[in-house]
Structure 1
Amino acid sequence: MKKLEFIPPIKGSIINLNQINDPGFSSGAMGPGIGITPAEGKVYAPFDGKIDVLFETKHALGITSTDNNAAILIHIGLDTVNMKGKGFTAHVQQGDNIKKGDLLLEFDIPLLKNAGYDLTTPVIITNATEFSYIAVKNNSSTIIIKDFSQSAENESSVITAAENNNLPSEDRVAKEILANIGGINNIRSVEHCATRLRLILKNKEKINEKAIENIEGVKGQFFAAAQYQIILGTGFVNKVYNVIVNNDSELAQSNNKDAAYADMTLLQKTSRILGDIFVPIIPVLVATGLFMGLRGTLISLGFHFSDNFLLMSQILTDTAFAFLPALVTWSAMKKFGGTPVIGIVLGLMLVAPQLPNAYAVANGSIQPLLINIGGFSIPTTGYQGSVLPALILGIFASKLQLSLKKIVPDVLDLILTPFLTLFISMILGILIIGPIMHHLEIFIFNAVRMFLELPYGIGGFVVGGLHQVIVVSGVHQIFNALEIELLSSTGKDMFNAIITGAIIAQGGAALAVAVRTKDKKKRSLYISSVIPAFLGITEPAIFGINLRFIKPFIFGLIGGAFSGMAASWMKLAGTGMGITVIPGTLLYMHQLPQYLIVNAIGLVVGFGLTFLFFKPKE
């Protein structure tokens, strides 16, 4: 074991670490060290080394010694991060090499004290387990922080336990996850969604799945869509992700999509592509649906509005669907590497006012425009509310543009490539891609709609029963296109109405497990996984509870099936998409009793079956 000696980085009084008024430091959770009450606002290098970390707020920095690789954290004051850099001046940058005694930082003591901050400064050795002897040399005196020369092995285990038990929860969880996936060097890329940490690993054999499942704060783990996904819950996953990518710019900028595609099945790739295209559009359609629901509610309550107010409300509710092809082509172009603004223009061409309006053609008030080409008359209309023609045209145009860039000289690229992309895509889009895809779209839509509207709610029973199975498989994004098509064609989303009961049923089943669990710690963890399900996010409940025990998941599927049947039988349909269960109530103000009944069925069946027939093993 090595020895470490360094000079105090700040002039002032040295105190014991346990006298610092911050349990994160005083407990030794971050490692042993000292506290300094500053006599002047200057920070000096305690040894020769390198600036590993310099926080943007300049309130703290990490230094590594060039002699023995000692790592020291100097944290100026307590909670001074909230000053956001005010009162701090850095004389070094992250990555700089430094010499012992160099001036590193200055801080304004009067300013910080007047702002109410305690300037006691912790100086922490963050890799103390590598050293058997640590001391601070202050002039002629030596302050020993650690001297376990004869029992270094015991000290190492004590400090490691303290770090794991007393670190902030996100630091502890991140550290334990890294320890059980082969370390940070085993990560190819990392991202996170609302609830899950998504990892692409170099070597999957290094994963210790049991250990990860037993980490306090982890609600489940699984492989899906070629990614190792760890359920952490909303909000907390962001914090753990930030800890993992901290100080690693390459990892922070990593992209799971390209790495994951190589290992996906064709269905998974299709679902992921459709998700990447349609997910960016969903927030607009959610907002539109909420506007429609609010307007309908107010009218049903007897409110009377002026013509101008109704006109303005129609602008809010109708614009997104009137120009839906522009949104789809924009997103498709962006996804496949084309110029997004070209996608917007192409989508607008599909709904150009010179073409007969698709809705007017559908109700028979006007006739399609007949364009004669080579003796063939091609009936042409606008594509208001269409999804598939815009999707295929956007993909085609992006591929065309990228191909043109390879053959068009650079000097002409700015003018010629956009011109040819727009011209060729417009002709093919209006005369070939549009008509073919529109008829295919109508066929698919009618088939799906007929299935969902099967008598006695059979379609809803099947969809409600299987929806969460499809969520587990990771290909549920494929339904985004269906929901958008339903909204654009009918103004309502019956699919959303069917799946809301399936979601709350999984939450009900998980809640029953929590209620029947006697262990208070487990019950608390389970309840934290249940809450997101009532907000429309089932992954924590499914992967953290229901799939672990299997039976609750099956009972949740049964609840989803019966609630889906009820939704179909009552012809329940939302005014928008993207939100379900409690938030989704806003989409069903026109059918509120039916919506409450559907959710109640899913909750009661999922909870009841699990409570009666599942016995958790403590």
Structure 2
Amino acid sequence: MNIQDERKEAKDFAQELLPLLGGKENIMNMTHCTTRLRFELLDESKVNKVGIDKLNGIHGTFSRMGLFQIILGPGIVNKVYRAILETKLTPVSGISPAEPPKVRMNPFIRFARTLSNIFVPIIPAIVASGLLMGLIGMIKVFQWAPPESSLMRMLDIFSSAAFIILPILIGFSAAKEFGGNPILGAVIGGILTHPSLLNPAKLGYKVPEYIEILGVDIPLIGYQGTVIPILLSVFFMSKLEMRLRKMVPSSLDLFLIPFLVIISIGFISLLIIGPISLFIGDMMTNMFELIYKSGGVFAGFLFGGLYSLIVVTGLHHTLHAVEMELLANPKIGVNFLLPIWSMANMAQGAAGLAVFFKTKNERLKKIAIPSSFSAFLGIIEPVMFGMNIRLFRPFIGAAIGGAFGGVYVVLTHVVANSYGLTGIPMIAIVAPLGFSNLMHYLIGLGISVITAFIATLILWVKEETE
């Protein structure tokens, strides 16, 4: 199928979908992630969920945190999203976009949703960098090219760029979420990673310079690779910016507001927020390291078994912040959580394959293979929401597989040098840390897949006719 046919198919699909959502006038806002369309609706009772589920290509629907979500799978979701935008989607007349439907959420869920909205847009950059780092590691291991060759130097630049400017990317995305100016958010990220500031990864063998402020010596330490300092700085930046917009005349806001925001938040970030954030980050990573080391196989069993449940709640994106802090911490420097999450994701795919062999439902059979393969590549929403949760027992089978896989990778100390990749692609960020690390990871995947597949077959009961 050529590009023109794909666009036409996406456009036709959008035309079918909109009436089932209650029409364009029922849509307040629309976003998307790797596999899902997310709709903020005026009245969710107008949605024809049965009709949507029957559309060809739909892997499932669900409502969470005030958003009605439709699972389409990777690739097609972008085309359908653009096709819906091309229908000239506009907010409901008489309702301001700044006044979204009121949805009751406890503070923790609201916080998790905010973090998810910040990190989801930057995941593609992290995934690409992680794959490139894996490629570099494999080239070095198998000696495909000299380490000092022009090719290796170029690949190193490509792979490290996203991590070098990570606070800038987070600052831009966070400012959009907090209601501030994204460009100013990026500038705050640039301040915290300025070349004049010592990279914290070099603290073991380099001593930072100090400046004296009001009689206090302040170390010039940067925040490359960290998350908490930039999130807090941009949060306060956005609040200050919104407050200033109410006070400063519109004729002066272009000049005065950016100046006041940058100079005040810049000082506060380097003198107060940064040092406090490093302390918080160290406490957080040390806590996870303590659980990981003291909990041992129990920690792997618990994390591996419960991770899919965390994905259901949407809180899994908040874990990216923890993984970033693990890598940024000079005392740790590796990601020991990601291999556990990978076991859980692979188990979801294996449970989906078991459903393919057991179900007599032709619609489930049709989506089982592609959605399971998607899970093996690290994208679990299609198989999890489209089949496993709906049938429940496969979801339990996947949890069992993830738990046993998690036990093995913790027992053998499997780690990664990046984040954002799970399943088969994660081999790229596991292999550079040694052949033993890679082999134990692959064995863990085998344990997870086989256990989840068998557990799902054992738990299977005769399904009801639809």
Q: Give the TM-score category using the shorter length.
A: 0.7 to 0.9
Judging changes above 3 Å, is the alpha-carbon distance between structure 1 residues 448 and 256 closer, same or farther for their aligned structure 2 residues? farther
- Aligned counterpart for 1:450 among listed residues 269, 284, 290: 290
Equivalent residue in structure 2 for 1:608, among 437, 444, 454: 454
Q: CA deviation at 1:182?
A: 4.4
Aligned residue in 2 for 1:296: 137
Alignment of 1:255-266 (within 5 A): 259=100, 262-266=103-107
1:608 to partner: Cα distance = 0.7
| Correspondence for 2:442 among 582, 593, 596 | 596
User: Amino acid of the residue matched to residue 399 of structure 2?
Assistant: L
Inter-CA distance 510–343: structure 2 relative to 1 (3 Å threshold): same
1:597 and 1:242 map into 2 onto residues whose CA distance is 41
Contact 2:129 2:162 in 1 (8 A): yes
In structure 2, the residue matched to 1:126 is none
Displacement of 1:326 in angstroms is 2.9
Q: 2:235 aligned to 370, 395, 401, which one? A: 395
| TM-score (structure 1 length as normaliser) | 0.65
1:25-59 residue CA offsets vs partner (Å, 9 max, x unmatched): xxxxxxxxxxxxxxxxxxxxxxxxxxxxxxxxxxx
Matched position secondary structure for 1:234: coil
**Percent identity of equivalent pairs:** 36
Whole-angstrom CA distance in 2 between matches of 1:244 and 1:306: 48
1:560 maps onto 2:402 in alignment: yes
The one-character-per-residue Cα deviations of 1:486-539 (angstroms, maximum 9, x if unpaired) are 233354322221111101111111211110123445422333432322222212
Whether contact under 8 Å (2:402, 2:448) holds in the other structure is yes
Distance 2:136 2:452 in 1: 33
Query: In structure 2, what is the equivalent of residue 101 of structure 1?
Result: none
Higher normalized strand content (fraction of residues): 1
Select which of 127, 146, 157 maps to 1:305: 146
Amino acid at match of 1:428: I
C-alpha distance 326-173 of structure 1, shift in aligned 2 (>3 A): closer
User: Aligned partners of 1:185 and 1:365: how far apart in 2?
Assistant: 59
> Residue type of the partner of 1:593?
M
Change (3 A) 1:480 1:259: farther
Give the drift of 1:603: 1.0
User: In the alignment, which of 341, 358, 380 is matched to residue 516 of structure 1?
Assistant: 358
Say if 2:173 is the partner of 1:331. yes
Q: Per-residue displacement from partner, 1:284-324 (whole Å, max 9, x unpaired)?
A: 33232222222221222244625364555543444443443
Q: Residue 307 of structure 1 aligns to a residue in which SS?
A: coil
What amino acid is aligned across from residue 506 of structure 1 in structure 2?
A: Q
1:576 corresponds in structure 2 to: 418
**How much does 1:596 deviate?**
1.6
1:181 and 1:317 map into 2 onto residues whose CA distance is 41
Corresponding residue number in structure 1 for 2:389: 547
What is the aligned-residue RMSD (CA, Å)? Answer: 3.4
> One-letter code of the match for 1:446?
N
Residues 1:426 and 2:426 aligned together: no
Residue among 113, 128, 144 paired with 1:272: 113
Which among 459, 477, 490 is matched to residue 299 of structure 2?
Answer: 459
User: Which of 468, 474, 492 does residue 308 from structure 2 map onto?
Assistant: 468
* Alpha-carbon contact 2:136-2:156 (below 8 Å) kept: no
Distance 1:525 1:295, change over 3 A: closer
3-state SS, counterpart of residue 250 of structure 1: coil
Which amino acid is the alignment partner of residue 350 of structure 1?
L
Structure 2 CA distance, aligned partners of 1:236 and 1:304?
Answer: 37
Size of the aligned set, in residue pairs, is: 453
Alignment CA distance shift 1:386-1:527 (3 Å): closer
Amino acid at match of 1:606: A
One-letter identity of the residue aligned with 2:451:
V
> Is 2:345 the counterpart of 1:503?
yes
Answer yes or no: is 1:371 the counterpart of 2:251: no
- Residues 354 and 467 of structure 1: CA distance in aligned 2, closer, same or farther (over 3 Å): same
Residue 180 (structure 1) shift: 5.2
Q: Higher relative CO (CA 8 A, sep ≥ 6), structure 1 or 2?
A: 2
The 2-side partners of 1:322 and 1:189 are apart by 33
What is the deviation of 1:264?
3.6
| Structure with the largest fraction of helix | 2
TM-score (norm 2): 0.85
- SS of 2:267's partner is helix
Contact 1:174 1:241 (C-alpha < 8 Å) held by counterparts = no
> What is the CA distance between 1:614 and its match in structure 2?
0.7
The one of 202, 224, 245 equivalent to 2:64 is 224
Q: 1:491 to 1:379 in 2, by over 3 A?
A: closer
Please give the alpha-carbon distance, in whole angstroms, between the structure 2 residues aligned to 1:311 and 1:245: 41
Give the Cα–Cα distance (whole angstroms) in 2 for the partners of residues 219 and 356 of structure 1.
Answer: 48
CA contact (8 A) 2:352 2:372 kept: yes
Q: 1:189 to 1:524 in 2, by over 3 A?
A: same
- Name the CA distance, whole Å, in 1 between partners of 2:66 and 2:333: 36
